[in-house]
Structure 1
């Protein structure tokens, strides 16, 4: 049987076992939760009805204590009897507040408890009135009040209401005990069922484990053979990749050496062209007509553009190979120093730089300087006529795909461009305007993109013709690994 089929059978068996185990666990869990919930609900109801019975008994006892103290004082006129009366009366008020908070589960019990509380309050008023009359030395009036039988009648009504409430609560409690016994029997049955199913599951697991052990023994040899073949292929592929990596490193070194030599060899004739041009202009300028002077100026300008282009190309090629290790860089002083460097062009254009609070990031400080000086100088250069340029630099931190990113935006109110050219501006030598309109080599934004990509980020532009441009720079907060990989590549090269 092929290894794939054996593997699929083993996976199917374990999926079947896992499904059965999970199903049984869920079923047992649901039964256990239901039993626990029923037990908890029944016990809470028992606690509640028990509390109600105790509270009612306490209320009844306090009424009796207060009435006993009242009658003792009225019959003997001994003030010592007022002490238990007053104590019972004070506790009775607190007990009434507790009784008002009772919440019975028996239907109609709330109205009965409210009626009982009303009778108790009336009884308290009757006791208080007779004692006040006695204290005012109106014993006859007090005794007359007692002899009316109003207090006795109130007590009878109170006791009858109390007995009815207690009887209903006791009956309800007895029914709860019956329910509790049934729930306990269900819990025992549930636990027995869980034990039986657990034992069956263990037996099933043992059976399938034995089957899997037999099937594993059959295809283990095949897997080992396949592993040996794969190991040989991996070794061959690793060797090929190592050779390719060495070749790539050698090629990069040769390209860098070629770029350095080419830039040096190209700069030398350019320097001679500019030097001889300057000599012609200074020594023979008076002998040349306007056309000859224009030719010399054009030659000098072309040589200067060629020199700038060579320097930019060399810098573009060295972003990754000659970059410095990343360190903690505070962007605030970096951009403040750029503003000082661009002081003349800022004053000439009457530009305003709005600088928000900027972070400390893990980066190459010199490349950060180059990145932002390119963006800010472009914002000033590509300004609209007769409109004061405003450059806003803002920062925020955002989470994208469970990763934290530094988001830095550079926004201007310049000439802008059509959004369809948003990708073209980052390609070397791609210009949207004639060289006569705006100076430059057309490689500045390409360098910006290489710098941001070296830091593991990305740069994008959003613009509208005549309404300015917004450059968005996104750099991961944790780009230490990118720095280590880059350093290793540089070391190999």
Structure 2
């Protein structure tokens, strides 16, 4: 064979060997990269589903802490129980934001988590309203609200939702462990083949194969450590949940017993005062002197005020529970109807009403009527002496947090008040003036706030003493979902 032929054969062999080496290196590289990517993706998925489980447990624990503190305070009226309640509420907002950021890989979990967040927000609102009533010395109303069972039903729905989400995440995590085991087996086979071929073809590949093997062991150890941490956290949360559940059950039983007694006994004294007062005035009026008659009148007036307070409080409480479904409400017609109802007081005070063009909004018609009656009658009642009252109702639409809102303002030129009391006027039974100056129970503006809040909006007041007040009502244009949630909650 000629040298040329030998050279050509040698070149061909080297080219063939080099091609085989390159193909094997590329193949081994592709297999190794796929194994690493599978391991990394599986590890990331395990971290993610673990975070979902831990965040849900933290959210559940905070709700239980808040409810335990609420029940303890309502039962005992000891303010020390408010410490865990306030601490839990303070941490709940951050926890809710963290939960909203969760991105589960399980199909349908995003919708379930969104539904869970809505339940949590409803539960927080129920807890907050009850404690606010208790702090405002309305224990009876607070207990009555608790006895509706709404809080218990919300907690059951919330716990069921959490358990469903956790079960799906745990099942998904178990499937990830199965995938991880398969990936590990594939990785071992891949690296064995890579080691053998690399040893036969190129010693250098063996070095890189060993590095990959060490990296694999490192990842596996990290996964095992993370799994142990997650297992410890789950065990600790389970123990805490058991303790909180037992305490909550005991508090509920005691609170139900107390509310049953209070709801019957607290009504009787008022009925007796009014009944005996009427009997005294009817049967013994000729036997009483002027002072005695005055005492009876004062007693009957006090009983009447108490009756009005109870009725106003009942109306205040029914804003959410007895509200009608939202419909398309033309505010122009609502205001016109309101002015007809207030015709006598408007004529007596010679008030001037300036009403801008108002839109139709999605709302409860009767509550909108009640809202404008309270605001306009307040503007007329708290007028300045010897000054013609002027009430202006204006409307515009604004963008707030990238969403359109209805903005309605009611402006008057009345007596006004110091701006530092702007929040106090919306608190039930809070008065800035003596009862002898201006009649009323002090709950009208609190009802206004409840009505606006039921529509998903906010109400605020800006005032200057001696110059008048401007009430600003902001209601979201797209509040259909708020109405749907409220109706489901009342149901």
Q: Structure 1 length normalisation: TM-score?
A: 0.51
CA-to-aligned-CA distance 1:317-351 (integer Å, 9 cap, x gap): 22222221111111122122222222222222222
Quote the Cα distance in structure 2 between the aligned partners of 1:397 and 1:228. Answer: 43
State the match for 1:397 in structure 2.
397
Q: Deviations 1:250-274 (Å, cap 9, x if unpaired)?
A: 9886444899997887566534433
- What is the rounded CA distance, in whole Å, between the counterparts of 1:262 and 1:309 in structure 2? 18
- Is residue 98 of structure 2 the alignment partner of residue 277 of structure 1? no
Alignment partner of 1:319: what SS? Answer: helix
Contact 1:324 1:364 in 2 (8 A): yes
Identify which range, 260-269 or 214-223, moves more after superposition.
Answer: 260-269
Cα distance in 1 for partners of 2:372, 2:330 equals: 13
Change (3 A) 1:261 1:390: farther
Q: SS of 1:226's equivalent?
A: helix
Write out per-residue CA displacement over residues 189-231 of structure 1, whole angstroms, 9 at most, x where no aligned residue.
xxxxxxxxxxxxxxxxxxx999975642332332343345345
> Quick one: distance in 2 between partners of 1:417 and 1:459?
17
The counterpart of 1:221, out of the listed 31, 39, 42, is 42
What pairs with 1:257-336 in structure 2 (closer than 5 Å)?
269-336=269-336
Q: Distance in 2 between matches of 1:360 and 1:404?
A: 14
Deviation (angstroms), 1:435 = 1.1
Deviation for aligned residue 1:411: 1.0
Contact 1:263 1:314 in 2 (8 A): no
Give CA-to-partner distance per residue, 1:148-187, whole Å, 9 cap, x none.
xxxxxxxxxxxxxxxxxxxxxxxxxxxxxxxxxxxxxxxx
Name 2:459's counterpart in structure 1: 459
Query: Contact 1:309/1:441 (CA < 8 Å) preserved in 2?
Result: yes
Change over 3 Å in CA distance of 1:252–1:279 after alignment to 2: closer
In structure 1, the residue matched to 2:360 is: 360
Cα distance, 1:294 vs structure 2:
1.2
Give the TM-score normalised by structure 2.
0.52
Indicate the RMSD between aligned Cα atoms, in angstroms: 3.4
Alpha-carbon distance change, 296 to 403 in structure 1, aligned in 2, over 3 angstroms: same
Q: Residue 347 of structure 2 corresponds to which residue in structure 1?
A: 347
**Which stretches in structure 2 are left out of the alignment for 5+ residues?**
1-28, 68-118, 128-142, 150-255
| Residue deviations 1:110-161 (CA, integer Å, cap 9, x gap) | xxxxxxxxxxxxxxxxxxxxxxxxxxxxxxxxxxxxxxxxxxxxxxxxxxxx
1:240 shift after superposition = 6.8
| Residues 379 and 391 in structure 1, CA contact (< 8 A), matched pair in contact too | yes
**How far apart are the structure 1 equivalents of 2:148 and 2:479?**
26
CA gap of 1:349–1:276, structure 2 versus 1, over 3 A, is farther
Q: 1:238 to 1:468 in 2, by over 3 A?
A: closer
> Deviation per CA, 1:27-63, whole angstroms, max 9, x where unpaired?
xxxxxxxxxxxxxxxxxxxxxxxxxxxxxxxxxxxxx
SS in structure 2 at match of 1:409: strand
Q: Deviations over 1:382-408 (max 9, x none)?
A: 111122212111212222332211111
C-alpha deviation, 1:422, in angstroms: 1.0
Question: How many residue pairs align between the two structures?
Answer: 284
Matched residues in 2 for 1:364 and 1:261: separation? 35
| Alpha carbons 1:328, 1:360 under 8 Å: kept | yes
Q: Is the 8 A contact 1:263 1:310 kept in 2?
A: no
Once residues 336 and 271 of structure 1 are traced to their aligned partners in structure 2, the CA distance between those partners, rounded to angstroms, is 39
Unaligned runs of 5+ in 1: 1-207
